[in-house]
């Protein structure tokens, strides 16, 4: 076969290979674009992050240990509702964690809550729901009894959570304010317990608008909470505007403490809400 006849065949083969490469690239484009978007979001958040300043303000020059199993933070990468973003903290019981500071870096009031863990409580998990106002890292910093600080973080895509309108009618919210419910769950393990405390409270952030008057609703939220079992403190919380409406706290603890649960909460208006759960459920 002559060289002149081979050239069209060669060109045809090259065109086929090129077409195959183009098709493969097009097929991979969506996945590549998504990865690029995720990387760009995180890079942009890191470039303009409030965390360095927050870290200095909250902990000074104290070193933070990253990458350990002392504390883990679970949160959705992309929140379905920025006003109700579920988070779960898991603590290593062997580290004797005494305090956890939850920081939502780009929120107007970044410190969402500080949880003090009572010595000997055996608290190993704590879940709640928060507002997230912008694409941000959420940091959780655990302080052990020996003063060591352990840190973990999770990047969350959400926006507008702190200004999102309340889900409940204001009159209904006012009537129900302070009501508490507690549920206990069977873990199937001896000495292992799980419970959930729910509190009716609007937890207004101060950034929400009345949907009729369009005026800002004053901030009104729970600032302090104590939860004990049989007279023994399990944990306490100092909260801010980033805790969601109708706060909920689900917690897992170890031990054989008997007696009723007792919860006491107070808010920014000085109101105190208190209840003892004799039967463990209500």
pLDDT tens for 234-246 read 999 999 999 999 9
Beta bridge mates, 224? 238, 266
The set of residues, in sequence order, having a beta carbon less than 8 Å from that of 275 and lying 6+ positions away, is 180, 262, 263, 282
pLDDT for 14 beyond 60: no
Task: Of 233, 229, 177, 172, give the one whose Cα is nearest residue 203.
Answer: 177
Q: What is the pLDDT of residues 73-96, one digit of tens each?
A: 999 999 999 999 999 999 999 999
3-class SS at 54? helix
3-class SS at 90? strand
Q: What is the pLDDT of residues 188-225, one digit of tens each?
A: 999 999 999 999 999 999 999 998 899 999 999 999 99
Extents of the domains making up the chain: 1-48, 51-277
pTM of model > 0.85? no
CA angle 75, 78, 84 (to 5 degrees): 65
Work out the number of other CB atoms within 10 angstroms of the CB of residue 10. Answer: 10
3-class SS at 120? coil
Band of residue 47 on the pLDDT scale cut at 50, 70, 90: low
- For domain 51-277, the CATH architecture is Sandwich (2.60)
Q: What is the pLDDT of residues 155-197, one digit of tens each?
A: 999 999 999 999 888 899 999 999 999 999 999 999 999 999 9
- For residues 250 and 127, the answer to whether their CB atoms sit within 8 Å is yes
């Amino acid at each position: 076969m002559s060289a002149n006849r081979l050239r069209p065949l060669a060109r045809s083969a090259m065109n086929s290979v090129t077409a195959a490469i183009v098709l493969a690239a097009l097929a991979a484009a969506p996945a590549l674009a998504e990865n690029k978007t995720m990387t760009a979001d995180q890079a942009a958040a890191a470039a303009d992050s409030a965390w360095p300043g927050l870290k200095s303000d909250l902990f000074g020059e104290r070193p933070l240990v990253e990458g350990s199993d002392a504390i883990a933070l679970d949160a959705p990468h992309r929140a379905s509702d920025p006003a109700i973003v579920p988070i779960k903290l898991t603590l290593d019981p062997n580290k004797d964690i005494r305090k956890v500071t939850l920081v939502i870096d780009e929120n107007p009031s970044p410190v969402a809550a500080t949880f003090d863990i009572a010595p000997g409580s055996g608290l190993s998990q704590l879940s709640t729901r928060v507002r997230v106002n912008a694409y941000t890292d959420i940091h959780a910093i655990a302080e052990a009894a020996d003063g060591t600080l352990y840190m973990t973080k999770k990047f969350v895509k959400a926006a507008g959570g702190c200004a999102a309108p309340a889900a409940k009618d204001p009159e209904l919210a006012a009537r129900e304010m302070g009501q508490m419910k507690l549920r206990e769950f069977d873990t199937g393990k001896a000495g292992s317990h799980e419970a959930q405390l729910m509190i009716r409270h609007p937890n207004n952030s101060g950034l929400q608008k009345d949907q009729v008057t369009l005026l800002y609703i004053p901030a009104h939220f729970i600032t302090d909470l104590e939860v004990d079992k049989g007279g023994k403190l399990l944990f306490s919380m100092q909260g801010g505007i980033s805790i969601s409406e109708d706060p909920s706290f689900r917690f897992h603890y170890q031990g054989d403490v008997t007696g009723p649960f007792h919860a006491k909460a107070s808010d920014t208006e000085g109101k105190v809400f208190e209840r003892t759960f004799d039967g463990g459920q209500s």
